[in-house]
Every structure is written in C-alpha cells, then in structure tokens.
Amino acid sequence: GEDVEQSLFLSVREGDSSVINCTYTDSSSTYLYWYKQEPGAGLQLLTYIFSNMDMKQDQRLTVLLNKKDKHLSLRIADTQTGDSAIYFCAECSSGAGSYQLTFGKGTKLSVIP
C-alpha cells in the first residue's frame, strides 16, 4: 500500500477554510512537507514541519501534526480562487538509511467563487 495517503478531492467556497488531511506510515519521519502544484507547473514548497513540533503557522497556513496517529493536516484560512491547485503531502524519513521524499497522490482543491 501507499506510504502516504491523502483524499483525492476537496471543494470549498471562497472565503471558507480548507483542511487537507494526510496520513503517513513511517514513524522515523523527520520532516513533513506540503507542496502546491498548479496546472502544468512544478511543485512549490508551501511549508514544512519538523517531527518534534505539533503545530506551525505561517500567515493563512496552519500545519497540525499528530505524531501518535501519524496524521498531518494543512489548514488554509480564507481560501481564495488562487488557492485552487493540487496539494501534496510528503515525508522525509531515514528508515531505510536513505533520505527520500515520499509523496502522497495529492489532493485537488477546487475553490468555488
């Protein structure tokens, strides 16, 4: 099965908050990342959290980490149409002795005006 799982779609109204969830399996994960991908573009690093943190806030973005449940979430406050994109959760772990980023399949966020 997948090491990192995300729901595939999320639809919200402009101005509402969006919450994108992610679960991972590797308990040795050191950093966890959120990347944004707009159509036809590369990945833009949004934010990251170190595994010894519970929460990180950066302007409209709030990342919550529940290490016990291996659950990561990204909250986008006051969602705008420009936030429409695919959001990827990724973990960086050293369990196999090699630091690789393992990505989820991405959550497509659609913002309804």
Contact set with other proteins (CB under 8 A): 4, 30-31, 33, 35, 41-45, 48, 88, 90, 92, 94, 96, 98-106
Taken in order 43, 27, 73, 9, the sign of the CA dihedral is: positive
| Residue closer to other proteins (CB basis): 1 or 42 | 42
Quick one: 10 or 43, whose CB is closer to other proteins? 43
Residue 15 CB, nearest distance to other proteins (Å)? Answer: 29
Q: Are 107 and 19 in contact (CB under 8 A)?
A: no
Shortest distance (Å) from residue 39 CB to other proteins: 12
Return the number of the residue (45 or 53) whose C-beta is nearest other proteins.
45
Minimum CB distance to other proteins smaller for 14 or for 31: 31
Backbone torsion region of residue 28, taken as left when φ is above 0, otherwise alpha when ψ lies between -120 and 50, otherwise beta: alpha
Q: Exposure of 104 by Cβ count < 10 A (0-12 exposed, 13-18 middle, 19+ buried)?
A: buried
User: Shortest gap between Cβ of 42 and other proteins (angstroms)?
Assistant: 4
